[in-house]
């Protein structure tokens, strides 16, 4: 084991933190068109940072929507494996901004944590391997493996152009293993290796009633109320106990095996701690017959992400609104086909739209299938060894309810698996106000990335 | 019959229209605190206009919230009845502003209609009697009855201070009959006399789940979703057919009598025309077993006026929101007590809040009981005669689903009934975008007010 990179990381600590703050100050929100220029600015920042680290051929590529960034270092030779590192530099929107303790794009350090939108998901995490590579190249002049880096700018909107782009650039992206810097650890001192992600599909429901907002006194009781109609559509999708009632929703679900459930149960679970993490004072809630981790990791879900219609201001406005709207995402598990879910959701909404209004469903083109990786894959074994070394004990194998669409794309288009090797933590308010990233994770990650590249360089086969 | 006032009205037509536009350009939105100054500005405008018309002692009074305006002309002598004319100069909010064809507080005349928030409800209508009084005083030097004018600035927020104010000013407001310039006609050529209004109570439901917005991938399926919980609460309030299911909601409802239903059925009803008026393409909808007019006029209703929670922006944001909210108003019929309805609604919401979230209900202090006036009251007979004269045929007696809280207050505190004598029309988008008022109604109303004051001046008893 070579410790020179360790000295380099120590010496660079303050500069790396400053660079992280600089990167986070770019509001690269991919879902809002007014931030398209900022997403591009972040891409340029990454290209420059790759070049400074010693990565070759760093450049911006154009999948079609927001740009992505590619770079490589292929000097290890043919006897060494080729590893592709993945991450994304776009972020979720920051609203509701008023719930943030400090402005979301003015990164602020408090108690060893960097608060900013994108700090944990994924800019902080994706900067980590770049810094590790710089440390290895600076201290040793070479890398233990051939390396490709691929960072995208549309992960938070479901990577709509990525599939076609990867199809068109198979040669360039070809590798033996992907390591994803997008992902997270459950707890600070309990290492985990994520071996499964849920799939995703999303839609918006628009309910239209009267052609104009009506006085709810004069016309109340005479016409259907679009908000009440939408409430009934949503209510029809779930039993009171939390079981999804959409016909056909579970048709393609691979039942959890006894082995999977036993593996999930091995992961420490403290309900009080979980409730404190999500700040739920009452009971947790979800599909009967499954544990919290089973529901969150490996059962399909249907969540309403937003709803709006009619008067939302101060005081009273006695109106029957012309329209009501909501957004829904479903998270999918093996072997669900996102297109099949969109079809059954659409059919359910149409069949359950009350009389007197029309309901239409806009299906988002961005979908992803669920992804599961074999626990004993050589990539996981290398990650396992590094984690054991760094944390002092072996990692748990878990799944996550989030979606990393690239994992399925790498599997289907390049024929390779993706090791999730990331040091964000589950409590860091990803997608929520006051997102933060621990500087301790930032530093631990840099060391871990040096070590996993060295370990993979020593691997017999990948 | 004296026609001098008619000449005066003809000569003043253009000036009166200009004054109407000036009045409507004041954004006197009573529910939004940022418009409090505008409500007061409108009150000052009314005081000045009363003085110019020859009304004495015109002044601003302070019920506690927004101001109201009082003026009088008591020169008819003790042998003549004292009539109080009521209206309001506050308006509903204008949003959604983007749905207006012209700015809501920049009154615009198109095709003989004045488009502006408040044009129909109620500023256009309440200016009408002031102009009629001016014409009578200018042409004859006196009025046929003793007159009091009382205009309020909080009607659209349920007149929260009015009850205490009227209680404290019983002497000043004492009269034999109230004529309300707030109200409307159903159709341009079909005169109607409104002899009943619904009561009102309103509330906001706030559903709170996790203490912070959560990533709907990571935590989806593990916690209750506040939006879905709110949808279930709303859904529980109504059957699929539209019957309100809140326990106790109908306990105090006086059943419709056969005579009332027969009277309602006399009013011409064309379902196609009704649907075109509300721009509903599918079916009308409401409580089974009652006609459209019965539901709208004389059955209690429960309408959701607004709902919001989570992400409402462009694209996708995969979040479980911490909170979801909605606003509800119930319209009440004889003999429902608004406090009883608020109590059963609160109990229902508490009993039907799903596990994993907390639901709280904020009850609006502004409530009103339903109001019904005897058809053969001398005030109605006078209005009937004037309408027959002006329209060429007798008016229909109808009810309205709207609420005019003052009617109940005048009845309960001053012991007098209120004749609804107003010339707005039902299709004028009151409370909705593109509210308008017909100039033909504006002129017809001025003539009608001259005639009803003359007719009441000749009445034997009131």
Structure tokens at B158: 């349920």
Number of domains in chain A: 2
- Work out the minimum CA distance from B301 to partner chain A, whole angstroms: 6
Instruction: Take residue B146 and report the two structure tokens written for it.
Output: 């003793």
Please return the burial class of B427, using the count of CB atoms within 10 Å of its CB with bins 0-12, 13-18 and 19+. middle
> Which of A305, A311, A433 comes nearest B212 by C-beta?
A433
My answer on whether B60 and B134 are in the same domain is yes
Residue B346: inside a domain: yes
Contact residues for B228 (Cβ-Cβ < 8 A; gap 6+): A234, A235, A238, A303, A304, B354
Mean pLDDT of A31-60: 97
- Structural domain includes residue A291: no
| Domain closes at, from B314, B341, B363 | B363
A 10 A CB-CB count for B425 gives 20
Overall residue count recorded for chain A in this entry: 462
Query: Could you tell me the pLDDT band of residue B186, with boundaries at 50, 70 and 90?
Result: confident
User: Which B positions 303-332 lie with beta carbon below 8 A of chain A?
Assistant: 303-321, 324-327, 329, 331
ipTM of this complex prediction, to 2 decimal places:
0.83
Residues A244 and A313 in one domain: yes
Gyration radius from chain A CA atoms? 23
Residue-wise pLDDT tens digits, B198-246: 999 999 999 999 999 999 999 999 999 999 999 999 999 999 999 999 9
| Residue A22 shares a structural domain with residue A128 | yes
In whole angstroms, what is the distance from residue B1 CA to residue B14 CA? 25
Q: H or E segment at B262?
A: helix B258-266
Judgement on whether residues B380 and B333 belong to the same structural domain of the protein? no
For the stretch A241-259, pLDDT in tens is 999 999 999 999 999 999 9
Q: Put residue A69 in one of left, alpha, beta given phi > 0 → left and psi -120 to 50 → alpha.
A: beta
**Final residue in a domain of this structure, among B363, B383, B407:** B363
For testing the chain A interface, which of B215, B253, B352, B371 should be mutated: the one with the most A CBs within 10 Å? B215
Lowest-pLDDT range, A9-13, A50-54, B150-154? A9-13
Mean pLDDT (chain A, rounded): 95
User: Alpha helix locations (H) across A237-363?
Assistant: 258-266, 271-278, 292-298, 338-351
Residue A139 domain flag: yes
For A155, the domain range is 4-197+370-457
- Does any domain span residue B158? yes
Q: How far is B174 from chain A (nearest CA, A)?
A: 29
Q: Are residues B228 and B326 in the same domain?
A: yes
| Together in a domain, A32 and A51 | yes
Final residue before a domain boundary, out of A313, A337, A363: A363
- pLDDT tens column, B425-444: 988 998 889 999 999 999 99
Instruction: Give the per-residue pLDDT at A1.
Output: 47
pLDDT of residue A2: 57
Residue B373, pLDDT > 90, answer yes
Nearest residue, CB atoms, A306 vs list B99, B232, B311: B311
Contact across the interface for B431 and A285, Cβ inside 8 Å: no
Does A165 reside within a domain?
yes
pLDDT in tens, A122-156: 999 999 999 999 999 999 999 999 999 999 999 99
Would you call A231 an interface residue with chain B, using a CB distance cutoff of 8 Å? yes
Q: Do A308 and A391 belong to one domain?
A: no
Q: Distance (Å, rounded) from C-alpha A178 to C-alpha A180?
A: 6
pLDDT score at B381: 95
Q: Which residue of B has its CA nearest to A333?
A: B217
Position B2 confidence tier, pLDDT thresholds 50, 70, 90: low
Are B333 and B403 in contact by the 8 Å Cβ rule? The answer is no
Does a structural domain hold residue A187?
A: yes
What does the pLDDT read at residue A406? Answer: 87
Cβ distance B148 to B83 under 8 Å? yes
Say whether pLDDT at A30 is over 70. yes
Of A236, A355, A366, the CB nearest to B282: A355
- Whether B316 maps to a domain, the answer reads yes
Flag if A310 and B305 touch (Cβ within 8 Å).
yes
CATH code of the domain containing B140 = 3.40.630.10
Q: What is the pLDDT of residues A262-301, one digit of tens each?
A: 999 999 999 999 999 899 999 999 999 999 999 999 999 9
Span of A32-41, A59-68, A156-165, B285-294 with lowest mean pLDDT: A156-165
Q: What pLDDT, in 10s, does the model give residues B315-372?
A: 888 999 999 999 999 999 999 999 999 999 999 999 999 999 999 999 998 888 999 9
User: Which letter does DSSP use for residue A236 in this model?
Assistant: H
- Identify whether residues B375 and B305 lie together within a single domain: no
Chain B positions touching A358 (Cβ under 8 A) are: 281-282
Q: Is B353 at the interface with chain A, CB within 8 A?
A: no
Q: Is the domain of A213 the same as that of A123?
A: no
Chain A neighbors of B434, CB-CB under 8 A? 212
Rounded alpha-carbon distances, angstroms, from residue B420 to B284, B384, B393, B400, B429: 28, 11, 18, 11, 19
Look at residue B404 in the predicted model and tell me its pLDDT.
Answer: 85
Nearest CB to B279; choose among A212, A240, A402? A212
pTM, two decimals, is 0.83
Shortest alpha-carbon distance between residue B143 and chain A (Å): 34
Residues A171 and A216 reside in one and the same domain: no
In a domain, B237, yes or no: yes
By the CB < 8 Å criterion, does B243 face chain A? no
End-to-end alpha carbon distance in chain A: 20
DSSP state, residue B34 = G
Q: Which of 47-76 (B) contact A at CB < 8 A?
A: none
3-state secondary structure chain B: CCCHHHHHHHHHHHHHHHHHHHHHCCCCECCCHHHHHHHHHHHHHHHHHHHHHCCEEEEEECCCCCCEEEEEECCCCCCCCEEEEEEECCECCCCCHHHCCCCCCCCEEECCEEECCCHHHHHHHHHHHHHHHHHHHHHHCCCCCEEEEEEECCHHHCCCCHHHHHHHCHHHHCCCEEEECCCCECECCECEEEEEECEEEEEEEEEECCCCCEECCCCCCCCCCHHHHHHHHHHCCECCCCCECCCCCCCCCCCCCHHHHHHHHHCCCCHHHHHHHHCCCCCCCCCCCCCHHHHHHHCCEEEEEEEEEECCCCCCCCEECCEEEEEEEEEECCCCCHHHHHHHHHHHHHHCCCCCCEEEEEECCCCECCEECCCCCHHHHHHHHHHHHHHCCCCEEEEECCCCHHHHHHHHHHCCCEEECCCCECCCCCCCCCCEEEHHHHHHHHHHHHHHHHHHHCCCCC
A380 and A350 assigned to the same domain: no
Residues 143-172 of A with CB under 8 A from B: 157-158
Task: Kindly state whether residues B153 and B211 are assigned to the same domain.
Answer: no
What confidence score (pLDDT) does residue B231 get?
Answer: 98
Give the Cα-Cα-Cα angle A433, A434, A439 (nearest 5 degrees).
145
Q: pLDDT (tens digit, 9 = 90+) per residue, A294-349?
A: 999 999 999 999 999 999 998 888 999 999 999 999 999 999 999 999 999 999 99
Q: Is the pLDDT of residue B396 over 80?
A: yes
The domain that contains B327 carries what CATH number? 3.30.70.360
- Residue B101 · residue B115 · CB < 8 Å: yes
- Residue B427: predicted pLDDT: 87
Contact between chains at B402 and A218 (C-beta distance less than 8 A): yes
- For chain A, give percent helix, strand, coil, nearest 5: 35, 25, 40
């Amino acid at each position: 084991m070579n410790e020179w990179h360790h000295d380099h990381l120590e010496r660079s600590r303050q500069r790396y933190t400053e660079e992280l703050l600089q990167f986070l100050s770019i509001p690269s929100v991919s879902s809002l068109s007014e931030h398209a220029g900022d997403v591009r600015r972040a891409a340029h920042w990454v290209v420059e940072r790759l070049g400074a680290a010693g990565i070759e051929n760093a450049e911006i590529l154009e999948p079609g929507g927001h740009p992505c960034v590619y770079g490589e270092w292929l000097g290890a030779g043919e006897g060494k494996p080729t590893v592709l590192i993945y991450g994304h530099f776009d972020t979720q929107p920051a609203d509701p901004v008023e719930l943030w303790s400090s402005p979301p794009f003015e990164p602020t350090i408090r108690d060893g944590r960097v608060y900013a939108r994108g700090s944990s998901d994924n800019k902080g995490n994706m900067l980590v391997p770049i810094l590790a590579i710089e440390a290895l190249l600076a201290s040793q002049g070479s890398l233990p493996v051939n390396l490709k880096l691929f960072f995208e700018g549309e992960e938070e909107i479901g990577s709509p152009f990525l599939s076609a782009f990867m199809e068109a650039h198979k040669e360039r992206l070809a590798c033996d293993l992907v390591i994803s810097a997008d992902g997270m650890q459950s707890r600070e001192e309990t290492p985990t290796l994520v071996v499964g992600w849920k799939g995703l599909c999303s839609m918006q429901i628009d309910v239209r009633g009267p052609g104009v907002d009506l006085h709810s006194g004069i016309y109340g009781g005479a016409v259907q109320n679009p908000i009440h109609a939408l409430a009934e559509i949503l209510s029809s999708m779930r039993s009171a106990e939390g079981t999804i009632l959409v016909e056909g929703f579970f048709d393609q679900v691979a039942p959890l095996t006894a082995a999977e459930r036993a593996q999930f149960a091995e992961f420490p679970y403290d309900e009080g701690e979980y409730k404190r993490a999500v700040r739920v004072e009452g009971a947790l809630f979800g599909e009967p017959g499954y544990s919290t981790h089973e529901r969150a990791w490996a059962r399909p879900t249907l969540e309403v992400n937003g709803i709006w219609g009619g008067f939302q201001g101060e005081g009273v406005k006695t109106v029957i609104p012309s329209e009501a709207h909501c957004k829904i995402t479903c998270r999918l598990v093996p072997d669900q086909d996102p297109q099949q879910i969109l079809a059954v959701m659409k059919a359910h909404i149409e069949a359950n739209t009350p009389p007197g209004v029309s309901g239409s469903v806009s299906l988002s083109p961005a979908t992803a299938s669920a992804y599961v990786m074999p626990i004993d894959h050589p990539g996981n074994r290398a990650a396992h060894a590094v984690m054991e070394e760094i944390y002092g004990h072996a990692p748990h194998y878990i799944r996550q309810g989030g979606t990393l669409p690239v994992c399925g794309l790498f599997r289907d288009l390049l024929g390779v698996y993706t090791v999730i090797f990331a040091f964000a933590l589950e409590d860091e308010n990803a997608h929520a106000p006051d997102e933060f990233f621990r500087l301790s994770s930032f530093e631990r990650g840099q060391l871990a990335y040096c070590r996993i590249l060295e370990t993979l360089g020593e691997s017999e086969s990948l």
